[in-house]
Structure 1
Amino acid sequence: MRPPVVVVGDAATDVVAVLSGEPAPGSDRPASIRVRGGGAGANVAVHLGRLGVPVTFAGCIGADAAGSALLGELTAAGVDLAVRVIPAAATGTIVSLVEPGGQRSMLADRGANLDLRPEDVPGTASGEHLHLSGYTLLDPRPRRAGLAALAAATAAGATTSLDPASTGPLTGYGVDRWLTDTAGVTLLLPNADEARLLTGCADVTDAARALAGRHPAVAVTLGADGALWCAGDLLLHRPARPAEVVDTTGAGDAFTAGLLAAWLTDPRPAPADLLDAGLALAAEAVARPGAR
């Protein structure tokens, strides 16, 4: 039996363009284009729901067909909704350009997600878990909601997890401010570049150890090289699962959900099993277009 999880973050429509070859600036390039559900917070919530974890998603959408479709997908995955509709805003949209080999560039219009307020976030009680998408903190408008969610969960004695989201906006936000705002998080889930940025360490294992000095547990994704787990004196590496990479969009969100679903079980599995659970779901995610 797993405790209920509240996921706070973005819901968005992903427009995924898988290029047939290298980008051709100033010319045309054939591509396979698909429209799918996305948003880092919603991705984690959908994966958790499909894994049978009791989960509530808190966020904002616009009063449009895109928002309605996202709510339908969340509900179909077994996710409970704490979603506010913003009549004057459009639902968020992310355009993902996927190059051969799976590398992608993302263009983000966060839309209604930026209207998230502290009162939109349901309380997290003792024995429950809060997962916060780092994007919530990286803009001044929803930042208060993210900070309020973390503070309320910590005060209630709930466990918390957080992904730093992306190095570009994280740099703009400010590393020192981020470290101060997130000091009480139980489980941190950065990728290798985010871990290096947050610590100033060139070596990712040194970065993991430095972050584990601030948080009870840290799981660092390494892309094709797998993932690291660091807690106390323990540093553990697990290799990635073999996969034919079609699109890396949402791989980190899938890893987060797979690891969380295992981490929240009682008794908690060994660290190697936690990483393997995350890596297995990430391998499934990268083998198809779209985040989920």
Structure 2
Amino acid sequence: MRPVVVVGDVCTDVVAVLRGEPAPGSDRPAAITTRGGGAGANVAAHLAGLGVPVRLAGCIGDDAAGAGLSAELGGAGVQLALRTVAGTPTGTIVSLVEPDGQRSMLADRGANLRLRPDDVPAPGPGDHLHLSGYTLLDDGPRAAGLAALRAAVAAGCTVSVDPASTGPLAGYGVDRFLEDTTGSTLLLPNEDEARLLTGCADAERAGLALAARYRLVAVSLGADGALWVEGTTVVHRTAHPAAVVDTTGAGDAFAAGLLAAWLADPGAAPADVLDAGLALAARVVARPGAR
């Protein structure tokens, strides 16, 4: 199995699964849990769980949360390249989950914004780089993300990029993001991100437009499954059945499952690669938390 270097955020997720109807100005029942999160850490943890050799490059604060997350990820089999940033808290994400499983997030990225180019290990022969788009969408870690991507492309490594989130992506600029990620092998947007990046109203058309820029595109469609687009070929797979509890981290799980299958056999049928991602996503949405 080819080794993977993941560059991205390490965070604590505070997940509040809300009950009942909204109650502005009053109380609303919720089941609240605290778990490990961060897009980069989620992908790395899932890859390790699937037996993929994986190293995670990122930053944590000099606090109990950072120490706990390091211990958790190391215990899960992730090789750690995490720098501790003095005087800065570890990132925290508050996820508010509605009864139907949809969520909104409040982000304090903390030490993740302090990532530097020298925090990312140099790619080795045959490595794969997975870059979380969050690394590019803020001026703090952007130089590190760009340096990692350029070094991987120069070394002949394959590269996957997750655009991360429509809000920050729109603020950052579509053209800027597309230029930054030139040379990437595989783009992993969700449907909304694919539409934003192309201006296309239809997910399939958006995937085809992106496939004119990237060799491979995998578009996650939530309850509608996912698309694999290569050139002018489009493969659709339906979502795996799941009793949805929390969609937090579903995209990260999909990315990890897909990557593990694709890296194990780059010639595998696209339907099988998509199914591997969808299967892991279905397991994750059936419980609170991203991993």
What interval of TM-score do these two structures reach, taking the shorter chain for normalisation?
over 0.9
Which amino acid in structure 1 is aligned with residue 46 of structure 2?
H
Q: How far apart, in 2, do the equivalents of 1:252 and 1:202 lie?
A: 20
Q: How far apart, in 2, do the equivalents of 1:257 and 1:204 lie?
A: 21
- For 1:172, the equivalent position in structure 2 comes to 171
Which amino acid in structure 2 is aligned with residue 286 of structure 1?
V
- For 1:282, the equivalent position in structure 2 comes to 281
Q: How far apart, in 1, do the equivalents of 2:225 and 2:165 lie?
A: 18
SS in 1 for 2:177: helix
Structure 2 residue runs without a partner (length 5+): none
Q: Does 1:150 align with 2:149?
A: yes
Which amino acid in structure 1 is aligned with residue 93 of structure 2?
I
Distance 1:127 1:42, change over 3 A: same
Q: How far apart, in 1, do the equivalents of 2:2 and 2:22 lie?
A: 45
SS in 2 for 1:214: coil
SS in 1 for 2:234: strand
Structure 1 moving runs of 4+ over 2 Å: none
Identical aligned pairs, as a percentage?
A: 74
SS in 2 for 1:264: helix
Instruction: Please report how far the alpha carbon of residue 267 of structure 1 lies from its aligned counterpart in structure 2 after TM superposition.
Output: 5.4
SS in 1 for 2:106: strand
Q: How does 1:131-280 map to 2 (within 5 A)?
A: 131-266=130-265, 268-280=267-279
Which amino acid in structure 2 is aligned with residue 125 of structure 1?
G
Which amino acid in structure 1 is aligned with residue 171 of structure 2?
G
Instruction: Please report how far the alpha carbon of residue 266 of structure 1 lies from its aligned counterpart in structure 2 after TM superposition.
Output: 3.3
| Contact kept in structure 2, 1:262 and 1:268, CA below 8 Å | no
Give the TM-score of the pair, scaled to structure 1.
0.99
Q: How far apart, in 2, do the equivalents of 1:215 and 1:52 lie?
A: 27
Q: How far apart, in 2, do the equivalents of 1:22 and 1:120 lie?
A: 45
Q: How far apart, in 1, do the equivalents of 2:120 and 2:49 lie?
A: 22
Instruction: Please report how far the alpha carbon of residue 183 of structure 1 lies from its aligned counterpart in structure 2 after TM superposition.
Output: 1.4
| Contact kept in structure 2, 1:61 and 1:91, CA below 8 Å | yes
Q: Does 1:101 align with 2:100?
A: yes
Give the TM-score of the pair, scaled to structure 2.
0.99
SS in 1 for 2:182: coil
- For 2:9, the equivalent position in structure 1 comes to 10
Structure 1 residue runs without a partner (length 5+): none
Which amino acid in structure 1 is aligned with residue 229 of structure 2?
C
120-129 or 280-289: which moved more?
A: 120-129
| Contact kept in structure 2, 1:7 and 1:56, CA below 8 Å | yes
- For 1:85, the equivalent position in structure 2 comes to 84
SS in 1 for 2:68: helix
Q: How far apart, in 2, do the equivalents of 1:164 and 1:192 lie?
A: 11
- For 1:47, the equivalent position in structure 2 comes to 46
Q: How does 1:52-71 map to 2 (within 5 A)?
A: 52-71=51-70
Instruction: Please report how far the alpha carbon of residue 232 of structure 1 lies from its aligned counterpart in structure 2 after TM superposition.
Output: 1.3
Q: How far apart, in 2, do the equivalents of 1:209 and 1:109 lie?
A: 34
Q: Does 1:110 align with 2:99?
A: no
| Contact kept in structure 2, 1:17 and 1:34, CA below 8 Å | yes
> Alpha-carbon deviations, 1:118-151, whole Å to 9, x = none?
0000011231100000000000010000000000
| Contact kept in structure 2, 1:6 and 1:57, CA below 8 Å | yes
SS in 2 for 1:241: coil
- For 2:73, the equivalent position in structure 1 comes to 74
| Contact kept in structure 2, 1:125 and 1:157, CA below 8 Å | no
Distance 1:33 1:4, change over 3 A: same
Which amino acid in structure 2 is aligned with residue 275 of structure 1?
L
> Alpha-carbon deviations, 1:2-60, whole Å to 9, x = none?
11100000000000000112322111001000000000000000000011000000000
Number of aligned residues: 291
SS in 2 for 1:114: helix
Which amino acid in structure 2 is aligned with residue 197 of structure 1?
L
